[in-house]
């Protein structure tokens, strides 16, 4: 048995090796920084308050659950996976979400989606997306309150976080995301007419484009550090752009362009940070390609034909459901097996 | 240089070969006592043929092979047998090292069957690690057409330099041994696969190649990558042939040998010297004089390491084999055997203990380095859950246990350990299921033995009858009436019994070569049964022929 371990030898000739699990998760957290900073720049400190609250509550919930399950607490907390879940869910929520909303989301993510299934490595669904989907279905009013781009600090931040701001005031503060606005454009307007009517508050599109590119740069870091493989992001973005282009070519008056789909909403964030969660994704390389492509297709189908403006969470969760099947049918053919006897289960 | 093909996966662990490769090949001191295990090879242990107090010479046969897959064991020092039991023979050295060799043979002028017998009685087995008897491997020609002999000099495991030094010191001898084996198995070409981190061995081989004949020799230098020294991966790399799953290299016309084995085979034939010593790499930070040594088999590891300046204070563990596939020794009080190619006396800093395991996050690092293209992460999952049908479905038995997955796992999961455990559990279950089959074989064996004994009794009785009444016409009439019919059916029975023996041999040889570490009791029984049947059939036929002949002989005068 191997007495050697890649992380234990410093004289190995190939440094291109993924770091140990705990620092792997830390690297993912570090890679979210460009995206998080861009969001904070455009949407204010509410983004950071989301993330901080989600991370703190997540770690507390994880520790509590581990205690109830009589499992060692320290190693599970140092692997940073819960912190990562908190960062991802916090970044998905509308800035300055009330604390209880974040709490409910993290409860669903950490307790239900992760610990009840057996902890790290055992969860069939992406925890952050389970939390997000639950909140989206249960509290749609709060989940659609994306404020327009605003200065770093605004007066109502504390009231918003504490949940004491009256609803009418909230409505007054909120704008719409570009996807949201496009979804609810009047039927009689064509896309071109809609965009020329300046439907969004100032800077909104720039903000979303910049944030998407920031997520992309974080994703590039993950690829360079070999923390994620290229299969899922490439398949996801490829199928998304291809299908969006088909829709757009079919009826450019009704459907948005591929570039719009690529650069707004959670597309790039999802492609690099959500869909690549190895625990809930398919495992073989062929399986990963199919998994990524499936998410891309579902995102466009739901955005263009379904009832939700963005669909990353649902697309990822639906493909999580398919993972056991994908894994079963994409077992690679091992060396020495003939071509007509593929690795498909007997 | 020949074109290179590629195998999937692989890792680049630190090589750490310089420490043992820089010093010249030396001879370890003659041990005062040797402990020789009866099972230093794959298959069954040998049966002792010396008793307590016997005087033996270096090279005397002390244990005879038992069954088809087994090997002879020879005394490795001269002296007195001081202990014999079912597992080991201990010999106290007299310090004289008087030799008892077999007569030298010129292999180019000697019959193949004689050479095979020589390999058999010299106890030569594969020195690379599996310890498969070389004469059985050479006999593969009876079942497969072999066109290529591959010399596996890749030596991809870190630390080990035994093959490197063997080739540097004895290049023409190794090639001569290869020519010998190639002519035995009918291979027309010899391909040497060697990693590019052994420039001196490569230069030595290049000088020696031109004189090597009759088979053509190709030297193929492959880039250093673990596990290119694994038989299947090397054959893929050199010849672009894929050894089928559950198959042998012979299935694609290839025989694979380690340089050390070829050298031992040549010594056995050319000098008549049985396998009594081998080259062992002794390395690690905790010994003062690392290097490669000719070591007598049976030398105590503890004594050997201490003679080379073992620093007990710094020693953390001793590894037998390489760091990727070897095992940590629980006690140093064990002997060097035919399959010990390397000992690493490692310090704590050198091989730090692997950190605590964390959960598998299915990152797929293992999958990308697996040379057999398996899904180690899924296998791990099913191994822990003991889902045996899933394990087989995900081709657990195609795992070559190279350890690349454990090496890269970011969660520090001892994957190969899990797989070994699961494999032995699955095998155990199969053995349990095969027990009924085994019982049947035993019953058939008994029936065959009884039939043979009955036939022998019959023969004796008839001989007595014939002796008592030499002129009795009735008796000869009686035996005369039956034989013509009997003789034919007996001949058919004998042919069938011969075929059964050949089939049983083939099955056993195959099973033993595929899984050298396992015991194949039921297959051995099957073979013994077939052999008993054949003996009985031979006997009956001979007796029927006798009695058919006897009357005519009597009638003529």
- Give the model confidence (pLDDT) of B268-290 as tens digits: 999 999 999 999 999 999 999 89
Distance from CA of B185 to the nearest CA of A (A): 24
The percentage of residues in chain B with a pLDDT greater than 70, rounded to a whole number, is 94
Give the nearest chain A residue to B224 (CA atoms): A13
Q: How far apart are alpha carbons B123 and B76 in whole angstroms?
A: 12
Q: Taking residues B162-170, what's their average pLDDT?
A: 94
pTM: 0.80
Question: Does the beta-carbon distance from B328 to A3 stay under 8 Å?
Answer: yes
Question: Does the beta-carbon distance from A13 to B410 stay under 8 Å?
Answer: no
Return the pLDDT at A30.
Answer: 93
Give the nearest chain B residue to A9 (CA atoms): B14
Question: Does the beta-carbon distance from A11 to B14 stay under 8 Å?
Answer: yes
Question: Does the beta-carbon distance from B13 to A335 stay under 8 Å?
Answer: no
Q: How far apart are alpha carbons B268 and B101 in whole angstroms?
A: 9
Q: Is A202 exposed, middle or buried, given 0-12, 13-18 or 19+ CB atoms closer than 10 A?
A: exposed
Specify the 3-state DSSP secondary structure of B229.
coil
Half-sphere exposure of B133 (CA within 13 A, CB side): 31
Element housing B393 (H / E): helix B388-393
Return the pLDDT at A344.
Answer: 47
Q: How far apart are alpha carbons B187 and B182 in whole angstroms?
A: 5
For residue B3, is pLDDT > 70? no
Nearest to A9 among B13, B245, B412 (CB): B13
DSSP bridge pairs for B310? B287
Q: Taking residues B417-445, what's their average pLDDT?
A: 83
- What token pair was written down for B173? 């001898």
**Mean pLDDT in order along chain A per 10 residues (346 residues):** 71 57 86 95 92 94 93 81 94 92 96 92 93 94 82 79 76 77 81 80 87 96 90 96 95 89 93 94 91 96 90 95 90 76 48
- What token pair was written down for A265? 């909403």
Q: What is the DSSP letter of B396?
A: G
- What token pair was written down for A37? 């900073």
Show which of residues 409-428 on chain B sit within 8 Å of chain A, judged by CB atoms. 409-412, 414, 416-417, 420
Question: Does the beta-carbon distance from B377 to A283 stay under 8 Å?
Answer: yes
Alpha helices (H) in B249-364, listed in sequence order: 259-266, 301-307
Specify the 3-state DSSP secondary structure of B507.
helix
Return the pLDDT at B128.
Answer: 84
Task: For residue B30, give the nearest of B245, B328, B299 by alpha carbon.
Answer: B299
**Mean pLDDT computed over every residue of chain B:** 87
All residues of chain A having their beta carbon less than 8 Å from the beta carbon of residue B416 are: 1-2
- What token pair was written down for A145? 């309150």
Q: Are B374 and B391 in contact (CB under 8 A)?
A: no
All residues of chain A having their beta carbon less than 8 Å from the beta carbon of residue B361 are: 21, 24, 81, 120-121, 278-279
Return the pLDDT at B34.
Answer: 94
Question: Does the beta-carbon distance from B393 to A120 stay under 8 Å?
Answer: no
With b for 16 or more beta-carbon neighbours within 10 A and e for fewer, the A239-253 pattern comes to bbbebbbebbeeeee
Question: Does the beta-carbon distance from B398 to A334 stay under 8 Å?
Answer: yes
Q: Taking residues B14-20, what's their average pLDDT?
A: 89
Q: Tell me which of A66, A72, A288, A336 to substitute to probe the interface with B (most B C-beta atoms closer than 10 Å).
A: A336
Give the nearest chain A residue to B325 (CA atoms): A1
Residue the block writes with tokens 């047998």: B81
Show which of residues 306-365 on chain B sit within 8 Å of chain A, judged by CB atoms. 317, 319, 323-328, 346, 351-352, 354-356, 358-365
Q: What share of chain B is helix, strand, coil (3-state, %, to 5)?
A: 45, 15, 40
Q: How far apart are alpha carbons A89 and A102 in whole angstroms?
A: 8
Q: Are B253 and B146 in contact (CB under 8 A)?
A: yes
Distance from CA of A271 to the nearest CA of B (A): 16
All residues of chain B having their beta carbon less than 8 Å from the beta carbon of residue A120 are: 358-359, 361
Q: How far apart are alpha carbons B55 and B519 in whole angstroms?
A: 32
All residues of chain B having their beta carbon less than 8 Å from the beta carbon of residue A79 are: 358
Q: Are A255 and A304 in contact (CB under 8 A)?
A: yes
**Per-residue model confidence as pLDDT tens digits over B499-514:** 888 888 888 888 887 7
Q: Tell me which of B395, B402, B419 to substitute to probe the interface with A (most A C-beta atoms closer than 10 Å).
A: B395
Question: Does the beta-carbon distance from A331 to B324 stay under 8 Å?
Answer: no
Q: Is B169 exposed, middle or buried, given 0-12, 13-18 or 19+ CB atoms closer than 10 A?
A: middle
For residue B477, is pLDDT > 50? no
Q: What share of chain A is helix, strand, coil (3-state, %, to 5)?
A: 60, 0, 40
Show which of residues 183-212 on chain B sit within 8 Å of chain A, judged by CB atoms. none
Give the nearest chain A residue to B318 (CA atoms): A3
Calculate the alpha carbon distances from A169 to A48, A157, A166 in Å.
Answer: 22, 12, 6
Question: Does the beta-carbon distance from B361 to A343 stay under 8 Å?
Answer: no
Task: For residue B505, give the nearest of B165, B133, B147, B215 by alpha carbon.
Answer: B133
Q: Are B7 and B222 in contact (CB under 8 A)?
A: no
Question: Does the beta-carbon distance from A6 to B407 stay under 8 Å?
Answer: yes
Distance from CA of A28 to the nearest CA of B (A): 13
For residue B382, is pLDDT > 80? yes
Nearest to A4 among B7, B247, B407 (CB): B407
B174 versus B539: the higher-pLDDT residue is B174
Q: Are B46 and B38 in contact (CB under 8 A)?
A: yes
Nearest to A283 among B325, B378, B395 (CB): B378
Give the nearest chain B residue to A282 (CA atoms): B362
Distance from CA of A126 to the nearest CA of B (A): 12
Alpha helices (H) in B188-345, listed in sequence order: 199-209, 231-239, 259-266, 301-307
**Per-residue model confidence as pLDDT tens digits over B447-468:** 877 887 888 888 888 888 877 7
**Per-residue model confidence as pLDDT tens digits over B78-131:** 999 999 998 999 999 998 899 999 999 999 999 999 999 999 999 999 998 788
Complex ipTM, two decimals? 0.81
For residue B485, is pLDDT > 80? no
Query: Where residue B261 falls among pLDDT bands split at 50, 70, 90?
Result: very high
Give the nearest chain A residue to B159 (CA atoms): A4
Q: Are A260 and A299 in contact (CB under 8 A)?
A: no
Calculate the alpha carbon distances from B307 to B30, B289, B290, B310, B520 in Å.
Answer: 11, 9, 11, 7, 39
Q: Taking residues B224-253, what's their average pLDDT?
A: 90
Question: Does the beta-carbon distance from A285 to B367 stay under 8 Å?
Answer: yes
Show which of residues 3-22 on chain B sit within 8 Å of chain A, judged by CB atoms. 7-8, 11-16
Distance from CA of B125 to the nearest CA of A (A): 23
Return the pLDDT at B555.
Answer: 45
Distance from first CA to last CA of chain B, Å, rounded?
77
Nearest to A279 among B358, B362, B365 (CB): B362
Specify the 3-state DSSP secondary structure of A89.
helix
Q: Report the relative pairing of strands B216-222 and B26-27 from DSSP bridges.
A: unpaired
Question: Does the beta-carbon distance from A24 to B328 stay under 8 Å?
Answer: no
Is residue B373 within 8 angstroms of chain A, CB to CB?
Answer: yes
Distance from first CA to last CA of chain A, Å, rounded?
31
């Amino acid at each position: 048995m191997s007495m050697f371990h890649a992380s234990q030898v410093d004289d190995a000739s190939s440094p291109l090796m993924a770091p140990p699990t705990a620092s792997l998760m830390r690297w993912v957290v570090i890679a979210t920084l460009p995206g998080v900073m861009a969001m904070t720049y455009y949407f204010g400190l509410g983004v950071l308050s989301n993330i901080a609250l989600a991370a703190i509550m997540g770690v507390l919930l994880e520790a509590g659950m581990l205690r109830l399950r009589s499992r060692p607490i320290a190693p599970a907390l140092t692997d940073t996976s819960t912190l990562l879940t908190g960062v991802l869910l916090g970044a998905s929520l509308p800035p300055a979400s009330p604390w209880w909303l974040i709490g409910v989301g993290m409860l669903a993510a950490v307790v239900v989606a992760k610990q009840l299934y057996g902890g790290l490595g055992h969860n069939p669904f992406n925890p952050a997306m389970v939390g997000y989907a639950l909140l989206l279905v249960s509290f749609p009013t709060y989940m659609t309150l994306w404020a327009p781009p605003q200065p770093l600090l605004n007066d109502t931040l504390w009231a918003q976080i504490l949940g004491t701001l009256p609803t009418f005031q909230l409505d007054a503060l909120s704008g719409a995301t570009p996807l949201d606005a496009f979804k609810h454009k009047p039927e009689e307007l064509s896309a071109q007419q809609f965009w020329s009517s300046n439907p969004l508050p100032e800077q909104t599109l720039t903000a979303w484009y910049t944030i998407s590119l920031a997520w992309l740069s974080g994703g590039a870091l993950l690829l360079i550090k070999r923390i994620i493989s290229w299969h899922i992001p490439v398949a996801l973005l490829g199928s998304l752009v291809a299908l969006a282009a088909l829709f757009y070519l079919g009826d450019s008056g009704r459907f948005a362009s591929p570039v719009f789909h690529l650069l707004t909403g959670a597309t790039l964030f999802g492609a690099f940070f959500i869909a690549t969660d190895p625990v809930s994704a398919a495992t073989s390389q062929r399986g990963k390609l199919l998994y990524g492509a499936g998410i891309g297709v579902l995102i466009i189908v739901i955005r263009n034909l379904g009832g939700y403006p963005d669909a990353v969470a649902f697309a990822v969760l639906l493909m999580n459901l398919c993972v056991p099947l994908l894994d079963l049918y994409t077992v690679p053919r091992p060396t020495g097996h003939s071509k007509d006897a593929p690795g498909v289960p007997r | 240089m020949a074109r290179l093909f590629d195998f999937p996966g692989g890792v680049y662990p630190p090589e750490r070969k310089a420490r043992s490769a820089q010093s010249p090949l030396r001879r370890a001191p003659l041990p005062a006592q040797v402990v020789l295990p009866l099972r230093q090879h794959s298959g069954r242990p040998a049966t002792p043929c010396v008793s307590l107090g016997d005087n033996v010479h270096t090279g005397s046969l002390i244990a005879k092979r038992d069954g088809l897959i087994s090997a002879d064991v020879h005394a490795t020092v001269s002296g007195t047998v001081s202990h014999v039991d079912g597992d080991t023979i201990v010999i106290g050295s007299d310090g004289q090292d008087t030799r008892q060799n077999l007569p030298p043979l010129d292999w180019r002028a000697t019959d193949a069957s004689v050479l095979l017998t020589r390999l058999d009685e010299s106890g030569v087995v594969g020195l690379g690690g599996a310890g498969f008897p070389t004469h059985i491997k050479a006999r593969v020609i009876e079942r497969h057409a072999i066109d290529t002999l591959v010399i596996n000099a890749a030596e991809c495991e870190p630390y080990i330099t035994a093959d490197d030094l063997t080739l540097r010191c004895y290049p023409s001898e190794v090639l001569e041994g290869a020519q010998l084996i190639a002519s035995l198995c009918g291979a027309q070409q010899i391909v040497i696969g060697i990693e590019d981190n052994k420039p001196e061995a490569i230069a030595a081989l290049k000088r020696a190649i031109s004189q090597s004949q009759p088979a053509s020799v190709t030297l193929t230098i492959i880039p250093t990558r673990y596990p290119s020294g694994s038989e299947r991966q090397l054959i893929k790399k050199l010849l672009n042939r894929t050894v089928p799953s559950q198959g042998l290299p012979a299935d694609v016309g290839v025989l694979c040998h380690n340089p050390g084995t070829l050298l031992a085979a040549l010594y056995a034939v050319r000098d008549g010297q049985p396998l009594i010593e081998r080259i062992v790499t002794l390395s690690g930070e905790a010994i003062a004089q690392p290097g490669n040594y000719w070591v007598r088999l049976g030398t105590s590891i503890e004594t050997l390491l201490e003679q080379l300046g073992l620093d007990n204070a710094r020693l953390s563990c001793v590894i037998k084999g390489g760091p990727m596939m070897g095992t940590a020794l629980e006690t140093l009080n064990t002997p060097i055997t035919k399959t010990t190619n390397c000992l690493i006396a490692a310090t704590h800093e050198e091989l730090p203990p692997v950190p605590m395991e964390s959960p598998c996050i299915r990152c797929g690092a293992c999958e990308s380095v697996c040379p057999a293209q398996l899904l180690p992460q899924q296998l791990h999952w099913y191994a822990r859950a003991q889902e045996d049908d899933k394990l087989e479905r995900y081709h657990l038995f195609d795992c070559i246990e190279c350890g690349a997955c454990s090496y890269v796992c970011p969660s520090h999961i001892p994957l190969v350990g899990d797989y070994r455990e699961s494999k032995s559990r699955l095998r155990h279950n199969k053995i349990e299921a095969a027990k009924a089959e085994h019982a049947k074989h035993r019953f058939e064996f008994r029936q065959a033995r009884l039939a043979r004994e009955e036939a022998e009794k019959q023969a004796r009785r008839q001989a007595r009858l014939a002796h008592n009444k030499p002129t009795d016409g009735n008796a000869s009439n009686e035996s005369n009436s039956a034989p013509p019919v009997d003789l034919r059916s007996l001949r058919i029975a004998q042919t069938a019994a011969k075929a059964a023996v050949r089939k049983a041999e083939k099955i056993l040889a195959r099973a033993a070569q595929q899984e050298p570490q396992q015991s194949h009791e039921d297959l051995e029984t099957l073979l013994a049964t077939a052999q008993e049947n054949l003996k009985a059939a031979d006997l009956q036929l001979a007796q029927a022929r006798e009695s058919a002949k006897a009357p005519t002989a009597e009638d003529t005068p």
